[in-house]
């Protein structure tokens, strides 16, 4: 459970305690007086999902054998996923970009961190020299990239749940480490759920849970995955990714995974 979630749970249990009226109490016209204050209604915000359509604007991403652009696929899939998630009424959803514009990696991460996202899903489509390779895969942050994440926390003065400015460097490092570890566990859990729900819906590449140092996965306190929908360098994947029905099949698997993830132990939703 993240530090934020623990604080939220404590606040929730405090607020949920029934309010007791103090002072003398007597009955007037059979109505208890003074009336007991109604328990405050506790509004717990719905989990926030940030969907990140890869590339955009001057950056087309991969280009398919038949000319399909990765940015076109990722934009369409992200919007479809947003609609599916919002239809459940269980989540708040933000896109890092809703139009064909270029957004820096930094800004994509900033959106997730500043809004305190509960889950970040970056959507991409792959490409490789071997045209026969096809299938989806899911990336989480590689161990070797974690020091880079720490450097970014320090260089960009990211505000963590704890005030790093008041800590010595080594304590600050440990706190970032703790946040990272909890985030990693959650990212890995979501990746596994996602792959099991994608299996059977689409081809998966061998070793489909992969680890890399992609910039958008570097936030130490936002669970994040990068989903590669398939290979645009493969004509079959390209043809499928162009169709709404195939993308919808994939995005329904993502929505199901989000449902499974947030109904897991210790998570809100
Ligand atoms: Zn990409």
116 contacts 183 by C-beta, under 8 angstroms: no
Provide the pLDDT for residue 18. 39
- Position 143 scores a pLDDT of 85
> What is the mean pLDDT of the segment spanning 161-165?
53
Q: Where does 57-262 sit in CATH, by number?
A: 3.40.630.40
Residue 189, pLDDT > 80, answer yes
User: Mean pLDDT over all residues of the chain?
Assistant: 83
Q: What's the rounded mean pLDDT across residues 169-196?
A: 86
pLDDT given for residue 266 in this prediction? 59
Strands of the sheet containing 92-95, edge to edge, are 92-95, 48-53, 119-126, 224-231, 136-141, 204-212
* Cα 151 to middle of ligand 1, angstroms: 24
User: Phi, psi (5° rounding) for residue 40?
Assistant: -65, 140
Condensed to tens digits (0 to 9), the pLDDT of residues 193-219 reads 999 999 999 999 988 899 998 988 988
- The pLDDT of residue 32 is 46
Q: Measured in angstroms, how far is the CA atom of residue 183 from the centroid of ligand 1?
A: 23
Domain boundaries, the chain: 57-262
pLDDT at 17 over 50: no
| 56 Cα to the center of ligand 1, angstroms | 10
Q: What is the pLDDT of residues 22-65, one digit of tens each?
A: 434 344 445 444 445 556 666 779 999 999 999 999 999 999 99
The pLDDT value given to residue 81: 98
Dump pLDDT digits (tens) for 69-126: 999 999 999 999 999 999 999 999 999 999 999 999 989 999 998 899 999 999 999 9
Q: What is the pLDDT of residue 33?
A: 47
For residue 99, how many other CB atoms are within 10 A of its CB? 10
Tell me the CA–centroid distance for residue 37 and ligand 1, in Å: 55
Q: Which residues surround ligand 1, an ion (CB under 5 A)?
A: 54, 61, 124
**% residues pLDDT > 70 (the chain):** 75
């Amino acid at each position: 459970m993240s530090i934020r979630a623990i604080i939220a749970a404590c606040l929730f249990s405090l607020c949920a305690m029934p309010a007791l009226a103090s002072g003398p109490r007597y009955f007037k016209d059979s109505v208890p007086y003074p009336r007991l204050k109604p328990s405050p209604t506790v509004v717990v915000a719905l989990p926030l999902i940030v969907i990140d359509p890869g590339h955009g604007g001057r950056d087309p991403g991969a280009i398919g054998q038949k000319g399909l652009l990765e940015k076109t696929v990722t934009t369409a899939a992200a919007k479809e996923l947003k609609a599916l998630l919002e239809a459940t009424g269980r989540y708040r959803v933000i896109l890092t970009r809703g139009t064909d514009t270029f957004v820096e990696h930094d800004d994509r991460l900033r959106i997730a961190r500043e809004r305190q996202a509960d889950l970040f899903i970056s959507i991409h489509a792959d490409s490789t020299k071997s045209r026969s390779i096809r299938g989806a895969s899911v990336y989480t942050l590689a161990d070797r990239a974690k020091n880079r994440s720490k450097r970014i926390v320090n260089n960009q003065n990211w505000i963590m749940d704890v005030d790093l400015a008041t800590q010595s460097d080594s304590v600050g490092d440990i706190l970032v480490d703790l946040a990272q570890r909890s985030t990693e566990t959650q990212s890995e859990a979501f990746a596994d759920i996602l792959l099991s729900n994608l299996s059977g819906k689409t081809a998966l590449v061998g070793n489909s849970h992969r680890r890399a140092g992609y910039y958008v996965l570097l936030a130490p306190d936002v669970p994040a995955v990068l989903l590669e929908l398939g290979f645009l360098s493969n004509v079959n994947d390209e043809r499928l990714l162009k169709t709404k029905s195939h993308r919808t099949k994939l995005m329904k698997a993502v929505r199901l995974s989000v449902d499974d993830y947030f109904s897991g132990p210790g998570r809100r939703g």
